[in-house]
């Protein structure tokens, strides 16, 4: 339309606002279509053209601010730009038309939401934080999946106070589903599934793994670490010298493990409780990640497929358990298995707690390693060579 500004010779109706204008009133008139409008009324096309000009101008201004390093001002301009682009979208689409969605597209939208990064992060959020994040994620996926027209109409709905319940109902549905606590049953009938489930809970832990188990041995460490994701940055293992599993062999083995995990850029540390009082106060076993935590049976039970259950703990319990873990970890009675080994080993020997003992054979007097049960039973220590000789005769 090529609008001309004229003085109306006759009364008429504005094509934009549908209201009357009077004779001798200043109006805009299109000689081609013979249509008229108030001088202050704009058609949708006029508004879109005007918004396009303003958007292009803002893009240039924002880019120039980025070039000179004024990031704060540039971001303000981009925020204003985004609002104008949305306003332009609204003008381009009919927001009054009833919404009809294709079932396949809705299924695709749900699939994208289920695989979104937000789902992986939800365990770190309370509902208020999740709601703000969810709206942006939801709308971006609506636009990508359902198209601009549905995006505009749904966006307008979510901005309307009368439709706040609609927004909350959608968010609550996904928040409830995504934060639902998991449980896994260990059974002798499902040995493969048992191992897969154990690996699955480890894969859900983000950034670090805190493992607390008083009765940790070489097999436990191997089973745990073999399931840890390479994206993990830190692993802390907390056990006890009163478990009957600690000896120099375990310490040497952990040194090898620590070096191997270091090759994956994973800092792996292990500490031992050396106080009977602290040891006696610890019972349950936990795997704790930054974002998620589980209460579980011993690795021995899982490996042997003994009937038991693994339960996800809620957010409040997770934070409490992490606090408790670090209180123990930082307690002076918890010693590093490598850095404090001399002190640990002395206590193991003094209190006859070591799983194995370095001694000499009672017959050939060569250095040998024996299980502490041999000493407890009052038997004389024998090396493997001398033991074989005795069995031969």
pLDDT in tens, 325-377: 999 999 999 999 999 999 999 998 888 888 887 777 877 888 887 776 666 56
Q: Is the pTM of this model over 0.85?
A: no
Same domain, 246 and 300: yes
Give the end of a domain, one of 178, 204, 219.
178
Helix axes 148-159, 71-92, angle to 10 degrees: 110
pLDDT in tens, 213-223: 888 888 888 88
Q: For the chain, what is the HEC assignment?
A: CCCEEEECCCCEECCCCCCEECCCCEEEEECCCCEEEECCCCCHHHHHHHHHHHHHHHHHHHHHHHHCCCHHHHHHHHHHHHHHHHHHHHHHCCCCCCCCCCHHHHHHHHHHHHCCHHHHHHHHCCHHHHHHHHHHHHHHHHHHHHCHHHHHHHHHHHHCHHHHHHHHHHHHHHHHHHCCCCEEEECCCCHHHHHHHHHHHHHHCCCEEEEECCCCCHHHHHHHHCCCCCCCCEEEEEEEHHHCCCCHHHHHHHHHHHHHHHCCCCEEEEEEECCHHHHHCCCCEEEEECCCEEEECCHHHHHCCCCEEEEECCHHHHHHHHHHHHHHHCCCCEEECCCCHHHHHHHHHHCCCCCEEEEECCCCCCEEEEEHHHHHCCCCCCCHHHHHHHHHC
Same domain, 242 and 313: yes
Domain containing 387: what range? Answer: 355-392
Mean pLDDT within 82-93 = 52
Higher pLDDT, 189 or 76: 189
Same domain, 52 and 149: yes
Give the end of a domain, one of 157, 178, 199.
178
- Per the CB < 8 A criterion, the answer to whether 84 and 48 are in contact is no
Terminal-to-terminal C-alpha distance of the chain: 115
Same domain, 197 and 340: yes
pLDDT band at 62 (very low <50, low <70, confident <90, very high): confident
CATH number of 202's domain: 3.30.870.10
Mean pLDDT within 276-291 = 80
- Per the CB < 8 A criterion, the answer to whether 43 and 15 are in contact is yes
Asked if residue 259 has pLDDT above 50, the reply is: yes
Mean pLDDT within 73-87 = 63
Same domain, 191 and 229: yes
Same domain, 337 and 361: no
Helix axes 248-262, 218-225, angle to 10 degrees: 10
Same domain, 235 and 340: yes
What was the pLDDT predicted at 195?
Answer: 85
**Domains contained in the chain, number:** 4
pLDDT in tens, 144-182: 887 777 766 666 666 655 455 555 667 777 777 777 777
Mean pLDDT within 54-76 = 74
Same domain, 271 and 256: yes
Same domain, 340 and 191: yes
What burial letters (b/e) apply to 149-174, b meaning 16+ CB within 10 Å? bbbbbbbeebeeeeeeeebeebbeeb
Same domain, 367 and 342: no
Same domain, 335 and 210: yes
Same domain, 151 and 209: no
């Amino acid at each position: 339309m090529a609008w001309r500004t004229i003085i109306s010779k006759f009364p008429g109706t504005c094509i934009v606002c549908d209201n009357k204008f009077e004779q001798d009133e200043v109006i805009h008139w299109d000689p081609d279509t013979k249509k008229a409008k108030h001088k202050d009324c704009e058609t949708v096309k006029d508004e879109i053209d005007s918004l396009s000009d303003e958007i292009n101008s803002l893009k240039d201004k924002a880019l120039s601010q980025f070039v000179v390093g004024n990031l704060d001002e540039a971001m303000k301009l981009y925020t204003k730009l985004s609002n104008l682009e949305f306003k332009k979208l609204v003008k381009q689409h009919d927001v009054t038309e009833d919404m009809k969605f294709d079932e396949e597209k809705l299924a695709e939208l749900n699939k994208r939401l289920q695989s979104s990064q937000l789902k992986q992060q939800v365990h770190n959020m309370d509902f208020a934080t999740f709601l703000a994040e969810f709206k942006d994620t939801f709308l971006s996926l609506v636009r990508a999946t359902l198209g601009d027209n549905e995006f505009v109409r749904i966006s307008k709905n979510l901005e309307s106070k009368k439709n706040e319940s609609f927004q909350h109902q959608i968010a609550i549905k996904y928040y409830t589903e995504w934060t639902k606590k998991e449980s896994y049953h260990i059974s002798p009938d499902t040995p493969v599934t048992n191992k897969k489930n154990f690996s699955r809970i480890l894969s859900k832990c983000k950034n670090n793994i805190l493992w607390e188990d008083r009765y940790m041995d070489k097999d436990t460490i191997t089973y745990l670490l073999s399931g840890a994701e390479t994206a993990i940055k830190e692993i802390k293992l907390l056990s006890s010298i009163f478990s009957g599993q600690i000896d120099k062999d375990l310490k040497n083995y952990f040194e090898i493990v620590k070096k191997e995990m270091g090759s994956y850029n994973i800092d792996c540390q292990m500490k031992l409780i050396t106080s009977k009082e602290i040891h006696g106060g610890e019972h349950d076993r936990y795997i704790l990640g930054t974002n998620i935590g589980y209460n579980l049976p011993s690795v021995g039970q899982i490996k042997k497929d003994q009937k038991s259950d693994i339960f996800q703990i809620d957010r409040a319990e997770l934070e409490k358990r992490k606090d408790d873990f670090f209180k123990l970890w930082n307690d002076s009675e918890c010693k590093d298995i490598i850095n404090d080994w001399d002190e640990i080993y002395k206590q193991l020997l003094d209190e006859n707690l070591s799983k194995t003992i370095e001694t000499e054979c009672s017959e050939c007097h060569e250095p040998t390693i024996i299980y502490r049960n041999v000493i407890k039973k009052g038997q004389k220590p024998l090396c493997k060579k001398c033991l074989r000789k005795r069995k031969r005769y």
